[in-house]
Chains A and B, each alone.
Chain A
Amino acid sequence: MKRFALAAAPIDVLAWQVRLQRPGCGGVCSFEGRVRDLNEGRAVDGLDYEAYPELALAEGERILDEAIARFGVQEVLCVHRTGSLVVGELAIWIGVAAAHRDEAFRACRYVIDEIKRRVPIWKKEHYVDGATEWVACHHAHDDGSRAPHGREPHAFVPDYSRQWRLREVGEEGQGKLRSARVLVIGAGGLGAPAISYLAGAGVGTLGIVDGDRLEASNLHRQVIYRAVDVGQPKVALARAHVAALNPSVRVITYERPLDAAAIAGVFADYDLVLECTDDLHSRYLCNDAALATGTPLVLASVYQYEGQLQVVSGAATGPCLRCLWPEEPAQALAGTCQASGVLGPVPGVLGTLQAAEALKWLLGLSSPAQGALVLINLLDLTMQRLPLDSAACRARGGCAQVARRHLGRVDAIDLDVARLDALLAGGAALVDVREPDEVAAVPLPRAAHAIPVGALLAGTLPATDGALVLVCASGRRSGLAARALRERGIEAFSLVGGLAGWRAEADGGWR
């Protein structure tokens, strides 16, 4: 028998209490929700409950399972009324049986709060004055969906008065923000605060790029997400977050990383870009696209307790990322959070600084971060600004020239899924560079040589005269390996977006 039920007739509490009895349970806690005679100041004389039964039953059951797992209680039961009820009548009954009272109280509280928040049940209130109104019992869903019979939510009017009062902002500045289009690449540790502050400030259009799904290990630093979101695509979650924070912001999402062929076209649609990934290759690609399109770019990266911040103006004369490090460093040389760890607030600080630099740029405020590398150490609480010059790029024809050359070259390495068949038909060999356990867990959609990236770079190559097409889970490892092989004179390509992108293409949607 299911634990969660909908009841069209009055609830038989005694029968439910009998079901709840357990010999080992010394603490039994129940909650009764009843129809009140007043709502938001209006006298109510009754109401109708209407549920979306399939979803309500599934979500209710899930909540009770969560309560059992979370609080270690023995049994949780719940029944919710539908149909017409009068004032004082029982609308919901929740019962929890546990070894001890403390977890019984806490589980009971959890269940009613979650049901109010998540279970799709609406009530039509009958007011004493004869009027009626539909009210969603659950709070507005984060994805912005509306109750089918619910009243239209009041149009939200943003209040920017706290930043308006800044002399440098005012009505004119707010107008600049409203008409601005900002692209945030990576909705992770850096992107999460950046997206929040830009949305809160009223940036009119926010583009968000991320190909990942939320993982539990993200939550200590990616503060816009919740535990229940694990497994969901980050772009969808980030969109819902923005919609909840400031519905007046228009959000455009990109569910896959931008590749070299597409990136300049996308940059051209935006006034400013924030690079917030943990991927050096993406950082260089963004630098080159920023220079090629004249788009300002705010770069940041973090390591353990430290961060680096750089604002690239997009001016053809630089300075740019390549003035600092002309070539993309080997991935093994760059510190990553995955391997070395990071304290959650560190990307929080750096992502917030990226948002601040972006707003300053849009408002026309000067920034000392422009043309400099800023080093931030949160252990010592120090900040150092090191001015950059563009001599390194100047010697190679100037930042914009260098960037365009690189964009062209990267394009030749990154292979779009659409071009895969043609290349394989032409004799290229497909190489799965993932580790054996990954290959065993999710095989490629077609036959491939399985050579993990380490072995490939150590010299194990498939016996073929043709080119190599490397595939990994996301396109990152295959990209690095393909570039390394090119330097050795081997014609290697990397499948953009990896297996995730490939399957998305094949299914017209991943999973």
Chain B
Amino acid sequence: MARVTVQYYAQLREQAGSSAEQTETAAGDLAALYDELARRHGFSLPREALKVAVNAQFAEWSRPPRAGDVIVFIPPVAGG
């Protein structure tokens, strides 16, 4: 299990009801972590529509989450 901080933007923040949370995860990669969180919060956005960054760098979905990581899920936004 790894304890990580997850940050949410835009629609994800709205659906999660907060900008950030700490969570324990056994997910093998960031894709599995997102699926886990999507089930928990009822996220409507498919993973393919998002970008993910870890510790202020964009990351691959296949990267495993490590203890202490700050993970950000970013949806595209269109407003202007």
On A, residues with C-beta under 8 Å from B are 186, 188-191, 276-280, 283, 300-304, 306-308, 324-325, 329-331, 333-338, 340, 342, 347, 373, 375, 377, 379-380, 384-389
Contact = CB atoms under 8 A, between A and B. Distances in A.
A350 B13 CA distance: 19
B16 to A, nearest CB: 13
Contact of B14 (A191, A304, A389): A304
12 contacts: A280-B78, A303-B79, A306-B13, A325-B76, A334-B75, A335-B79, A336-B78, A340-B14, A342-B79, A384-B56, A384-B72, A386-B56
A336 B79 contact: yes
Interface stretch (B23-31, B34-42, B45-53): B45-53
Interface of B: 9-11, 13-14, 19-20, 45-46, 49, 51, 53, 56-58, 72, 74-80
B57 to A, nearest CB: 7
B80 A335 contact: no
Interface centre among B13, B45, B49, B79 (most CB of A within 10 A): B79
A335 B15 CA distance: 12
Given A303-B77, A380-B19, 17 more contacts: A188-B80, A277-B80, A278-B80, A279-B80, A303-B9, A303-B79, A306-B10, A324-B51, A329-B76, A335-B75, A340-B11, A347-B79, A347-B80, A373-B51, A385-B56, A386-B56, A386-B72
B73 to A, nearest CB: 11
B75 A333 contact: yes
Nearest to A188: B80
Report, nearest first, the 7 A-B pairs whose CB atoms are least far apart: A278-B80, A337-B79, A303-B77, A334-B78, A303-B10, A302-B79, A333-B49
A338 B19 CA distance: 22
A interface majority secondary structure:
mixed
Contacts of B51: 324-325, 373
Nearest to B79: A337
A304 B13 CA distance: 10
A347 to B, nearest CB: 6
A335 B19 contact: no
A337 B80 contact: yes
A23 B69 CA distance: 76
Contacts, number: 99
A74 B74 CA distance: 56
A330 B49 CA distance: 9
Contact of A333 (B9, B45, B56): B45
Given A304-B14, A387-B57, A331 B78 contact: yes
A276 B80 contact: yes
Contact of A301 (B11, B14, B77): B77
Contacts of B14: 304, 340
Contacts of A276: 80
A335 B11 contact: yes
A191 B72 CA distance: 28
Contacts of B75: 333-335
A96 B63 CA distance: 74
B47 to A, nearest CB: 11
Contacts of B45: 333
B8 to A, nearest CB: 10
Contacts of B9: 303, 306, 375, 377
Nearest to A279: B78
Contacts of B46: 333
A341 to B, nearest CB: 9
A391 to B, nearest CB: 10
Contacts of A302: 77, 79-80
B11 A186 contact: no
A300 B61 CA distance: 25
Nearest to B20: A380
A303 B19 CA distance: 14
A336 B53 CA distance: 22
Given A306-B9, A386-B57, A388-B58, A278 B79 contact: yes
A186 B75 CA distance: 22
B75 to A, nearest CB: 7
A149 B30 CA distance: 72
A236 to B, nearest CB: 20
Nearest to B53: A386
A333 to B, nearest CB: 4
Contacts of B56: 384-386
A210 B48 CA distance: 32
Most B CB contacts (10 A, CB to CB) among A191, A302, A329 go to: A329
Contacts of A279: 78, 80
Contacts of B78: 278-280, 283, 301, 303, 331, 334-336
A307 B13 CA distance: 13
Nearest to A325: B76
A189 B79 CA distance: 9
A386 B9 CA distance: 14
Contacts of A331: 78
B2 to A, nearest CB: 21
A122 B1 CA distance: 80
A386 B11 CA distance: 19
